[in-house]
A and B are shown apart, each in its own frame.
Chain A
Amino acid sequence: DTGVSQNPRHKITKRGQNVTFRCDPISEHNRLYWYRQTLGQGPEFLTYFQNEAQLEKSRLLSDRFSAERPKGSFSTLEIQRTEQGDSAMYLCASRTLKTSPGWEQFFGPGTRLTVL
């Protein structure tokens, strides 16, 4: 069990560019969540998947954001036409539905995005 991994750890981009982040959850974890954390705030929910199905999207997730989990394993989060307001830490978490304590979400180290 290698934990949740995220790549890249840091991304600096210019306004208007597209970026893509990757999250590899803990093996066999059914649910995968994306959160965004801005400086001095707690993480805010963006979206989540159960296996390959995207079941909920926050209103924070504008049309410029898209997330996929094509084979129910890793997930990608893409931001198109980045804006300075997108600068944040993007966190991925996963959990299993199979065992107790089922509620625990395990977090990755995050991808810090800076939009210049």
Chain B
Amino acid sequence: GDSVTQMEGPVTLSEEAFLTINCTYTATGYPSLFWYVQYPGEGLQLLLKATKADDKGSNKGFEATYRKETTSFHLEKGSVQVSDSAVYFCALIGNTGKLIFGQGTTLQVKP
């Protein structure tokens, strides 16, 4: 069945460091891909998405490119802030319309 694999955390970075969180997927067909973020004590929020190969999703300085050839959707940010500390989830929607999530990666940014 469809699945998503993320790099294990926690990821600890200093403020202004470069961030990469790896995400790969397995799916039949051509899923839409998402990154969700969960800040402490809050619900899941959509961070960005891409619906077809080579699409780049971007929001709040974060970017991810839908790479069909490597079945990847890695999340990147050039300069992280303390306020980016959160849990990040990679997810896909396949033909069934339900979200399938990775296990989440905790990001901690230190000042």
Name A residues whose Cβ lies closer than 8 Å to a Cβ of B. 4, 31, 33, 35, 40-45, 48, 56, 91, 93, 101, 103-110
Contacts and interface: CB of A to CB of B under 8 A. Distances in A.
B21 to A, nearest CB: 13
Chain B's interface: helix, strand, loop or mixed, by majority?
Answer: strand
A40 B49 contact: no
A103 B51 contact: yes
A33 B97 CA distance: 10
Interface residues of B, number: 22
Contacts of A106: 46
A107 B36 CA distance: 10
B93 A44 contact: no
A79 B105 CA distance: 29
B73 interface: no
A104 B46 contact: yes
